Amino acid sequence: MTTAAPAVKPVLFMLTALEQGDIDAATAVLRSGMLRSASQCAALELKFAELSGARHAMTCANGTCALQLAYEPLFEPGDEVLVPAWSYIATASMLVARGCKPIFVDAIEGTGQIDLADAARRVTPRTRGIAATHMYGCPVDIGATQALAAKHGLRVVYDAAQAHLSTYNGKGIGEFGDAVTYSFYATKNLGTGEGGLISCNDDKLARDIQLLRSHGETEKYLHERVGYNYRMNDITGAIGLSRLGRLPRETKARQEAAVRYGEILAKVPGFVPLKITAGATSAYHLYTVRLDLGVLKTTREQVMKDLGALGVPTALHYPRSLPQQPAFARFLEGQGAWPVAERLARTVMSLPMHHGLTEEHFATIEHGVRAVASRYGG
């Protein structure tokens, strides 16, 4: 008689649970009856600005609104804006919403970040900006981005939806560029359900964004310009403020988990971790590897299936590059090719990453990746 192997307890892919303090903070707002954007959103803005190195921080409804609020004062319809071919759709789709033409830039294979050399080749007399995503939580080469922007007089927006509290050259990412945008979507490092924030260092731009966020209203029922209602509410603000208090500690735990992954994967052929940009620290929203399918003689789907069976959940970020999205087909003519982004779409895979990973979890992960690698010739 054979005895079945004990079922492995699967590792959580991400950890989104609120803590009692978050719930208490939200409950206090509910009890107060002050549900609109008020003291909690204001306190979240102050603390976020301080922690990220920005002068102004403005909460809003989500990370997509944050991009829209940053783009509208900085870009005009018809502008060409350089944007990564390797990002989440919103970075580019909100340029389209502004009437801009997204000019897709290929990625660096080793890091998954925007390739500034490719960006430089795509500059034309109509180029007005760069919208660069700090992918997976890791800042792009901000030095090269700002140098390219300075050379051509471009505006820069950094999409930091995945990169809360990451740093570049020892400084908070809020110090760089014209504006930085964040998402507080439920699964993000600072998750509030839905939510977002824009930071900037220019007083006039901050005022423009504040007005756009709330119907251009300068005093009650006086509307100086056309805007939106993209405000955050105070329940969300309270959860965000409570979570922000522990975010530095949780970010450190993610960084330590990344070190453990590095140690484990260094000994496993076929699993290649993405590298961190020189001078940067990553917030490790995701821990994404490239599969070397020359070493592992199988498909990515099989690797994911086998890992799942061994208690190691995985996900794809992302299965398509942005130029491969039907939504952008009408912009691609004459733009050339994005071979690296397309290769990343075929080869990347994300492993579990959160602040609660323990040695027990890493034992499951190590066993899983080693078993799969040896099964397929790695």
Ligand X SMILES: Cc1ncc(COP(=O)(O)O)c(C=O)c1O
Tell whether the torsion through CA atoms of 45, 46, 51 and 56 is positive or negative. Answer: positive
Residues 6+ apart with CB under 8 A from 353: 13, 14, 254, 257, 258, 284, 285, 286, 287
Question: To the nearest whole angstrom, how small is the minimum distance from the Cβ of residue 119 to ligand X?
Answer: 17
Q: In angstroms, give the least distance from the CB of 146 to ligand X.
A: 20
Closest to ligand X by CB, 235 or 373 = 235
Closest contact distance (angstroms) between CB of 171 and ligand X is 21
Strands 56-60, 271-273: pairing kind: unpaired
Distance, in Å, from the CA atom of 13 to the CA atom of 155, rounded to the nearest integer, reads: 36
How far is it, in rounded angstroms, from Cα 296 to Cα 285? Answer: 26
Residues that bind ligand X (CB under 6 A): 62-64, 87-88, 90-91, 133, 159, 161-162, 183, 185, 196
When CB distances to ligand X are compared, the closest residue is 63
Alpha-carbon Rg for the chain, nearest whole angstrom, is 21
Secondary structure of residue 333 in the 3-state scheme: coil
Q: What are phi and psi of 306, to 5 degrees?
A: -65, -40
By C-beta, is 190 or 265 nearer to ligand X?
190
* Choice between 86 and 376, CB closer to ligand X: 86
Are the C-beta atoms of residues 196 and 61 closer than 8 Å to each other? yes
Q: Using CA atoms, how far apart are residues 106 and 90, in angstroms rounded to an integer?
A: 17
- Counting Cα atoms < 13 Å in the Cβ hemisphere of 150 gives 8
Q: What is the distance between the alpha carbons of residues 107 and 133, in angstroms, rounded to a whole number?
A: 11
For the CB of residue 368, give the shortest distance to ligand X in the complex, in Å.
Answer: 26
Give me the least distance between CB of 151 and ligand X, in Å please.
26
CB of 364 to ligand X, least distance (A): 27
Nearest approach, Cβ of residue 372 and ligand X (Å)? 27
Cβ(139)–Cβ(166) under 8 Å? Answer: yes
Q: Give the nearer residue to ligand X in terms of CB position, either 162 or 288.
A: 162
Shorter beta-carbon distance to ligand X: residue 183 or 233: 183
CA dist., res. 55 & res. 347, Å (int) = 39
Cβ atoms within 10 Å, residue 220: 5
Is the Cβ of residue 113 or residue 183 nearer to ligand X in the bound state? Answer: 183
Shortest spacing between CB 64 and ligand X, in angstroms: 3
Euclidean distance between CA atoms 22 and 184, whole angstroms: 14
**Beta carbon nearer to ligand X, 95 or 264:** 95
Comparison of 195 and 368: residue with beta carbon closer to ligand X: 195
